[in-house]
Amino acid sequence: MKDNELRAAVCPLCGKIYSGYPALSRTDNETLICPDCGTRQALESIGITEKEQEQIIETIRRHTQK
């Protein structure tokens, strides 16, 4: 088993299964969350509304999909 292999994990925040690099939760600095929730928390911390957060995440998804 390789350590650098991408593994699927369940995000404790949204319950979604994700693979790839997890983000560190800003609330406790130790919980690993999915990249989407990581982006959401980062945007929230700079005062972006929930609606705008979803639009930004949607844009990121469009640009990161292969």
Span interacting with Zn ion, options 1-9, 27-35, 42-50, 51-59, rule CB under 5 A: 27-35
β-pairing, 8-10 vs 17-19, is: antiparallel
**Nearest-approach distance from CB 27 to Zn ion, in angstroms:** 13
Binding residue (CB under 5 A) for Zn ion from 6, 10, 14, 60: 14
Distance CA(16)–CA(32), nearest Å, equals 12
Distance CA(1)–CA(65), nearest Å, equals 27
**Nearest-approach distance from CB 7 to Zn ion, in angstroms:** 15
Binding residue (CB under 5 A) for Zn ion from 3, 20, 30, 37: 37
